[in-house]
A and B are shown apart, each in its own frame.
Chain A
Amino acid sequence: MTRAGKNSRGVVERSLASFVDALEHAFYAEELAKKNGLLQKLDPRVKIVAILPLIVIAALARRLWVIAVLFALAVAIALLSSVPLGTLARRVWLGVLTFTGFISFPALFLTPGPAISSLPLLGWTVTAQGLRAAIYLIMRAETAATFSVLLVLCTPWSNVLKALRVLRLPVVLVVVLGMTYRYIFLLLRNAHDMFTSRKSRIVGRLDGPEQRRAATASVGVLMSKTIQLSGDVYLAMRSRGFQGEVYVLDEFRTNWFDWAMLALFITVAFLAFWFGR
């Protein structure tokens, strides 16, 4: 598949570019999950049990230095797991900073407390407590999001779902989410092919209403194909014995390294909880 040209505009070209981006992201994540790094070597269940408490503690800790230490730990784990920091910056840090920064922006001025600065032109006063609240929110979000993304990037998605069974996630949810992941790629490819064929038959640019009609028609066709596919998949499942209950099999095996790392993570989580309370 090819990416649309740099200067291309219009719903068709933008859609094609976004389909290719989505597939590239997914393939890149799958390649990272195959590397021989620290997290990749761990049993998926151990990863879930080890990382989830760190996410919760990062979100609840009351001391900034504890959150900073957890963030540094996340960065260290990323480096040991062969996850480039540039990937984390693009996929996590910039997005979280933008989003939480936007949410916490009003708190800078509205939180009561002594003024430490003011915005030029507008003259809005930034308070110490407001700045502290914003920093806490951003640090908690960045740290929790970094741990979450590391868990997903370093584990094949199907294994993440199966490992969540250790938290008593219902089997049917594991299967439904697994099938969703499996068929997203097929539908993305279908959508890409549809838009490519449309683009090959367009001369010049479509105006706004025509672009919206094209997008709406494409959504309708994809919906129709998806409904047909879902019916066929159900028949394929029935053909192999599905009667409403699903059963999964996992190939997970723990070893001494998994238990040692789990003990280490639990210890770090306890210390973070103790010093961050």
Chain B
Amino acid sequence: MLSVDFEKQLSGFHLRPSFDADEGLIVLLGPSGSGKSLTLRAIAGLLRPDAGRIELPSGVVFDSAARIDVVPQARSVGYVVQDLALFPHLTVAENIAFGLHGWPKERQRERVRELVELMSLDGLETRLPRETSGGQQQRVALARALAARPRVLLLDEPFSALDAPIRNALRREVSRLRRQLGLLALFVTHDLQEAFALADRIAVYDDGAVLQCGPRDEVFRTPATVRVAQLLDARNLFEGRVVSKTEAFTEIETPWFRAKARAEGDLAPGARAALCVRPEHVILLRRDRPHTNQLDTTLDVELIDELATGNNHRLYLKVAGAEECIIEADVSAHPYQVMGVASRREWRVALTLDQTVAIPLADA
């Protein structure tokens, strides 16, 4: 059980995160400076909130009403900071064993051996941190944090300084370890891909507050606000008004087109709402082929620009007859070639009903 709900006034910044989780890996996602790292510091006991409550699997560690403030030493957290902070004058083995102070010598040696094996650090035990590679330093920091068997693992952008291949390998390793050890883990990142790859739950941060927290797919599928959708890089957001609502769908009228979104939520006709569909859920069609699903919204579009992003092509499509209305669509390399996207400008898109969501907007 993890429950975080506190506030802290810092010079020019009001930190007031609130989220909870039962288990798994929770990603704190948000732009830099939104308070993710400070939240970890508060959970670790290195930043004292002004008010609120923090509960960890080891118990309530902070509660301003009950005057509880457990020292960092007793919170049973493993904390990997962004710059790792490996003790530069201690060897790899000494770094890993640092948290085992007070254990019998023989059990310390045993535990260090276990972790060296778990993290594939064999042969590096007597080296100083600076004599190991970046990826190895990451694993030493992880091993050091895990050594005393903490109940929570806090990871603050631990892979941001590494090259992509090592980063991917380490992400998989963290996922595997967490499952293997059954740990609750908090992972701070501003990288959407990393968040998606790792998260069971996502807490979306903006300017010191958590805007939305929930299971990963739910947050991606149903952003609670336009700001969340923007932070999750949803790209296609169109303001409009609800014109009708049935059991099957909510129909939204935007200044440029009408479209159907999922029926969930309590948006009544006349309410302001934003239509949101991620580029990967916009389906590209040829205009001369009929689209079978009648509930999907189809729009005639004109291809005006594109950007190749490795596996994908991001297409910028102008809605026919509407100036300044661009829909972004991702097409993967294979269909891009088969359909001959590069050779024609006239297309049609389908916004699949299941992936199109209506986000409530405050009345202007």
Partners in one complex: no
Binding site for A on B (CB under 8 A): none
